[in-house]
Amino acid sequence: MTKAPPRAVALIAALLALCLLATACGSSDDDGGAGTSGGSGGDLVVSAATSLKQAFEAYRPEGVKFQFAGSDELAAQIRQGVRPDLFASANTRLPDALHAEGLVGRPVVFAANRLVIAVPAGSDEIRSVEDLTRAGTTIAIGSETVPIGAYTRRLLSRLGSAQSEAILANVRSNEPDVGGVVGKVAQGAVDAGFVYVTDVEGAGGKLSAVDLPERIQPSVAYGIAVVDGAEHPDQAQAFIDGLLSGAGAQALRDAGFEPPPAG
């Protein structure tokens, strides 16, 4: 085999070096572009309670991304290091707790709601809370840790122990968020479930609401806070402002939410 002349070898080595350098420079430019686009740009990220889905999606300012789940699950994610820009909860306890832990700013109460008994549309088996005590009735409620579940148990405690125990004995499903309760009732998997009135209004005619006595209604208030270290603090504050007086406030009213409690 004939050896290449030394000058040819040197020329080939130089060409290879130039190719490697060009490739390295190209990689550096690509990485730099990706880093820039993934920095302070991008969407405002809002982690919100499932019951807010209809209203928030109707409101949705430009450049906003939503993550809906149970309020307790979203709070747990923030404690584990997830950093959305905003946390909107179906209660005030969770935002207040995260604020005390230094994970979110001072919470703002922006809406109120009330509980009803949801039944499949057209059903007339359940007409009052007393009907839920009948043997053989099947009920879905939220789990103890999610706001709808805590509100439900608070409501039941005001009925007295006999009625409360009879209703809880008929519970067949403890759901991780109110969407789970809505789904079980809408599918006919259970006879009834405790949900927010806004969930019935947003169910597209699949559910009917049975009103509950005012004397047992819990106070249902929604809190929102800017997450510490949010990438878009100005956009986050503008989103909150819109919920209090603007397009967001109108979307909440249209979905059946009530104004935040006075004081």
**178 marked ligand binding residue:** yes
DSSP, residue by residue, the chain:
-PPPPHHHHHHHHHHHHHHHHHHHHHHHHHHHHHHHHTSS-SPEEEEEEGGGHHHHHHH--TTEEEEEE-HHHHHHHHHTT---SEEEESSSHHHHHHHHTTSB---EEEEEE-EEEEEETT--S--SGGGGGSTT--EEEE-TTSHHHHHHHHHHHTT-HHHHHHHHHTEEEEESSHHHHHHHHHTTSSSEEEEEHHHHHTSTTSEEEE---GGGPPPEEEEEEEBTT-S-HHHHHHHHHHHHSSHHHHHHHHTTPBPPPP-
71 is in an annotated binding site: yes
Residues at the binding site are 71, 178, 196
Which residues sit in the known binding site for molybdate? 71, 178, 196
